[in-house]
A and B are shown apart, each in its own frame.
Chain A
Amino acid sequence: GEDVEQSLFLSVREGDSSVINCTYTDSSSTYLYWYKQEPGAGLQLLTYIFSNMDMKQDQRLTVLLNKKDKHLSLRIADTQTGDSAIYFCAERDDKIIFGKGTRLHILP
């Protein structure tokens, strides 16, 4: 069945870049997403990439997609304390499948 895997925790020093990685199994995925969830809040769509793209950049966010390896990454440049949250990778074919989420912890 479809599966999305990501590491559960990432610790990064403030000002450094954060890279959150994700792998997925469904080769027919048409969209891949990154959502951010702050404590007690709903999910915020950060960015998404179509499966025929390799890269997408949006201000401090860079998404890289390696379709051959089914690997998706999210790079956050100049990580700030406000970036502290859980980041969910998700893929979509007929419905969205979420990974378990990566908790990003910012060190001062």
Chain B
Amino acid sequence: DTEVTQTPKHLVMGMTNKKSLKCEQHMGHRAMYWYKQKAKKPPELMFVYSYEKLSINESVPSRFSPECPNSSLLNLHLHALQPEDSALYLCASSQLGQGEQYFGPGTRLTVT
């Protein structure tokens, strides 16, 4: 099983809302990632978790708050977002020390 699942598939939220994106994998991977992808652009790394601890934060604004409650789950909490935060948010996972990252289908976020 090389599946990474993400919910919801689509999300529309206002600038004052609080919402969360969820990601799950059951491949035993101990590294999990959040990426942001704008239209016609490559994915941009946001956060990396290794062994459930935040290891990389690519200077992401604090209105994005990641959480890794256990080795299979990764959340991204959203609060007071801006319209320019509208994008496809991709979750990925990989074995630590190995290269290949497996991506979920993404959550398409629209901020109104």
Contacts and interface: CB of A to CB of B under 8 A. Distances in A.
B104 A33 contact: no
A42 B100 contact: no
Interface string B83-112: 000001010100000011111111010000
Nearest to A6: B42
Nearest to A95: B45
Contacts of A101: 40, 42
Interface residues of A, number: 20
Contacts of B103: 35, 42-45
Interface string B36-74: 000011110100100000001000000000000000000
B43 A98 contact: yes
Contact of A92 (B42, B56, B99): B99
26 contacts: A31-B99, A31-B100, A33-B99, A40-B108, A41-B105, A42-B4, A42-B88, A42-B90, A42-B103, A42-B104, A42-B105, A42-B106, A43-B43, A44-B103, A45-B100, A45-B102, A45-B103, A50-B99, A88-B42, A88-B43, A95-B56, A96-B101, A98-B42, A99-B42, A101-B40, A101-B42
